[in-house]
Structure 1
């Protein structure tokens, strides 16, 4: 039997992160048992999807899989890592972003096949669409950097390299690996990942059809409205949750 999570006051956040993990899987961004999401709780602690004794993969994440740890991977409160739970191997990927980016409270790490394939094919994430995905277009226009190493980001040295490559951007691709998305909240970090995945998928389809990728003209980009967080995040997130089985 899975050990129930301690610190009941964090239960709503655990439920929120678990649902976000299932959204990643439902969108095809994290198949199998790979991928994790974290959320800063205070200056030293974060909630993160941990490995548990009944691991079933991201699509089956429950609130019990979300555990409180500190920036060094130790239990953030009594009982948090009881019952065979352990932080993911790539916890430093999360904690180094949180250490260095005061503007970030949530980190998503996923392995979208289209993102990996597009990057390996030499296709950058570019603003090739317009009103199809306005937040994604704006994100791409600002640039999506690439960390050029296909390694497991398992320590602070490697995580530091990744964060340096990321700079102040919200998303960084990891060569032959996946992506890391960082934002103020869990929903935005996931939605950014979805947008990058969609742009990668469209780029692959265009090139496969014999087309040429062309950035949205500046005049068209200037016409794209800011529909606001209520639409871009709140409504979009309700939709993602409604898509879940």
Structure 2
């Protein structure tokens, strides 16, 4: 399915961004992209698994909601969907506002949650999209299990509600959005807020939410800056650290 080539590369680059940002160290974590009502592209496990930092377009395979090959040959060569595919498919089944699911294991997010520190809007212009996301609330799923079946995934979806991100206790986070870029950038924002919170508390400080009057002054800089420019920066970081085939954000197949 050659027409999916740019989308496969886009998902692969996003996996590498997660790793470069420290949100998915080692071999854990994955990203999926809805293609149609029954099929999605997802990072699969392959015979030469090296972790997210070395993801290639060949690792991004088309599967259906039940984990079967989405087209002939898609799972040939020893490829198989991740064990937590239900984490992705249950979000896509139930959230019509989401076409992309990111699952990562950011250590700072896990540590902050285990320390009883919620993700809160503690900054202002430092990260405007992240501040707005946190102000809306970041729920926590209280189970630290491998989300390997629909029943466990359904519990996570309930915890997530209608929010774009949910923290998974003792596990990581799940981020959902309409685009690959937005879903990854949301995860990065939550990770940054968690890391800052840990540093403030470790220094003996007290976490305080941004005052309402300051929140009201934060401008919406628009998707052209918040998403497009931010994503070009993330791809440039990859080029600097590990040159490879990068593409501009690809639109979802109809």
1:74 to 68, 73, 76: 68
Count, aligned residues: 239
**1:3 maps to what in 2?**
none
**1:166 maps to what in 2?**
160
Report Cα offsets for 1:61-86 as digits up to 9, x if no partner: 00000000000000000000000000
- SS in structure 2 at match of 1:38: strand
**1:233 maps to what in 2?**
227
* 2:89 maps to 1:95: yes
Moved over 3 A (4+): none
- SS in structure 2 at match of 1:215: coil
**2:251 maps to what in 1?**
none
Structure 2 gaps of 5+ residues are 243-254
Report Cα offsets for 1:178-204 as digits up to 9, x if no partner: 000000010000000000000000000
Structure 1 gaps of 5+ residues are 1-6
* 2:49 maps to 1:55: yes
2:111 to 108, 117, 124: 117
**1:85 maps to what in 2?**
79
Deviation at 1:107, TM superposition (A): 0.2
* 2:206 maps to 1:212: yes
Deviation at 1:205, TM superposition (A): 0.1
How far, CA to CA, are the matches of 1:92 and 1:127 in structure 2?
30
How far, CA to CA, are the matches of 2:99 and 2:192 in structure 1?
24
- SS in structure 2 at match of 1:43: coil
Deviation at 1:8, TM superposition (A): 1.2
How far, CA to CA, are the matches of 1:223 and 1:114 in structure 2?
29
Deviation at 1:9, TM superposition (A): 1.2
Deviation at 1:207, TM superposition (A): 0.1
2:58 to 49, 60, 64: 64
How far, CA to CA, are the matches of 1:117 and 1:227 in structure 2?
31
* 2:108 maps to 1:108: no
How far, CA to CA, are the matches of 2:117 and 2:78 in structure 1?
41
Deviation at 1:125, TM superposition (A): 0.2
Deviation at 1:241, TM superposition (A): 0.4
CA RMSD of aligned residues (A): 0.3
1:242 to 236, 242, 248: 236
- SS in structure 1 at match of 2:156: helix
* 2:120 maps to 1:126: yes
